[in-house]
C-alpha cells in the first residue's frame, strides 16, 4: 500500500535516498538560518524588540541544519550537492517571495514593510514545515534513529508558526492589515506552486535512486498534482488566516540546543 509512512520508510531505509533527503533538508535550514541572522541585524530602530526573536528563529534553523548533517554522519554518509530543482528556499527567492538576498547583503536598515514581507513569507513556509513535521512526528516520533530529531524540529516549527501569527497580528493592529493580507495571499499562491514543482523533482530523484516502476512514479506525481489543485482552489487559505496562538511569545527565550546531534 502506498502511503506517506511507507514512502518515507523506503527513503529512510536506503543510504542514497536518505543522503539526498537529509542534504536537501540541511541546505534549506542553513539558508534560513543565514537569512534570519541578516534580517535580525537590519531591523530598524523602531522594531529592535523584534530582533532577538528573529535571531532565535535563525538559530533554530541553523540547529536543524546541524541535526540533519549529524544524522548523515551517524550513518557514515556525506552530504550531496542539492539539485537546483529541489532547492525550495532558493526557488522561493527566485519567484520573489520574501526579501531578496541583495537587500539582505546590504547594510541599510529594513523598513516596517520589509519586516511584514519577511513575517508573511515565514508564516506561509512555517505552515508547510509545521504540517510536514507533524506528519513525520506521527509516524516516526518513536523511531530509534530519527525520532528525537523529528520531535525536536517539530516543536521548533510549531513555535516559529506561533511567532509569525502573533507578530503579524501586532502589525495588523497597528494599521497594516490590508498590506499583510495582500502579501500573505501572494506568498501562499507562489509557495504552493514552488512546493508542487519541488515535490515533483524530489520524487523524480528518489524514484531513480530507489528504482521505482513507472506506474508508482506516475501515481505519486498524480497525487502531487491533485494536492496542488486542492491548494490552488481552497487549501491556500489555511496559510493566510491569522489567529492568536496558544503559544504566546514562543520565541521569547534563548534558542534550545541539540548536543546529542550537533
In a domain, 142, yes or no: yes
Tell me, what CATH number does 112's domain have?
1.20.1260.10
In a domain, 162, yes or no: yes
In a domain, 156, yes or no: yes
pLDDT of the residue at 252: 85
pLDDT of the residue at 62: 96
* Domain assignment of residue 123, given as a range: 4-239
* Per-residue model confidence as pLDDT tens digits over 124-173: 999 999 999 999 999 999 999 899 999 999 999 999 999 999 999 999 99
Mean pLDDT for back-to-back runs of 10 residues, the chain (262 residues): 87 97 96 96 96 96 96 96 96 92 94 98 97 96 93 97 98 98 97 98 98 96 97 97 94 70 52
What's the pTM value of the predicted model, to 2 decimals?
Answer: 0.94
In a domain, 101, yes or no: yes
In a domain, 181, yes or no: yes
In a domain, 253, yes or no: no
pLDDT of the residue at 262: 47
Question: HEC profile for the chain?
Answer: CCCHHHHHHHHHHCHHHHHHHHHHHHHHHHHHHHHHHHHHHCCCHHHHHHHHHHHHHHHHHHHHHHHHHHHHHHCCCCCCCCCHHHCHHHHHHHCCCCCCHHHHHCCCCCCHHHHHHHHHHHHHHHHHHHHHHHHHHHHHCCCCCCHHHHHHHHHHHHHHHHHHHHHHHHHHHHHHHHHHHHHHHHHHHHHHHHHHHHHHHHHHHHHHHHCCCHHHHHHHHHHHHHHHHHHHHCHHHHHCCCCCCCCCCCCCCCCCCCCCCC
pLDDT of the residue at 4: 87
In a domain, 111, yes or no: yes
Looking at the structure of the chain, the number of domains it has is: 1
DSSP label at 47?
Answer: G
pLDDT of the residue at 175: 97
In a domain, 102, yes or no: yes
pLDDT of the residue at 258: 64
Amino acid at each position: 500500500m502506498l502511503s506517506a509512512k511507507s514512502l518515507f520508510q523506503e527513503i529512510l531505509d536506503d543510504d542514497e535516498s536518505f543522503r539526498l533527503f537529509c542534504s536537501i533538508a540541511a541546505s534549506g535550514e542553513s539558508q534560513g538560518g543565514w537569512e534570519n541572522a541578516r534580517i535580525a541585524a537590519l531591523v530598524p530602530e523602531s522594531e529592535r524588540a523584534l530582533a532577538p526573536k528573529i535571531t532565535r528563529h535563525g538559530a533554530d534553523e541553523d540547529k536543524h541544519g546541524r541535526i540533519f548533517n549529524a544524522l548523515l554522519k551517524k550513518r557514515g554518509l556525506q552530504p550531496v550537492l542539492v539539485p537546483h530543482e529541489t532547492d525550495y528556499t532558493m526557488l522561493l527567492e527566485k519567484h520573489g517571495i520574501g526579501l531578496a538576498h541583495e537587500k539582505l547583503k546590504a547594510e541599510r536598515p529594513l523598513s516596517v514593510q520589509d519586516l511584514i514581507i519577511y513575517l508573511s513569507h515565514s508564516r506561509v513556509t512555517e505552515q508547510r514545515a509545521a504540517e510536514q513535521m507533524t506528519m513525520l512526528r506521527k509516524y516516526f516520533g518513536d523511531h530509534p534513529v530519527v525520532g528525537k530529531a523529528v520531535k525536536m524540529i517539530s516543536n521548533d516549527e510549531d513555535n516559529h508558526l506561533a511567532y509569525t501569527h502573533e507578530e503579524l497580528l501586532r502589525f495588523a493592529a497597528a494599521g497594516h492589515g490590508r498590506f499583510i493580507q495582500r502579501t500573505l495571499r501572494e506568498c501562499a499562491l507562489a509557495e504552493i506552486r514552488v512546493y508542487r514543482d519541488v515535490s515533483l523533482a524530489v520524487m523524480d530523484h528518489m524514484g531513480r535512486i530507489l528504482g521505482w516502476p513507472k506506474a508508482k512514479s506516475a501515481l505519486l506525481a498524480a497525487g502531487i498534482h491533485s494536492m496542488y489543485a486542492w491548494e490552488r482552489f481552497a487549501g491556500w487559505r489555511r496559510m493566510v488566516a491569522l489567529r492568536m496562538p496558544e503559544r504566546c511569545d514562543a520565541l521569547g527565550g534563548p534558542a534550545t540546543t541539540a548536543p546529542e546531534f550537533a
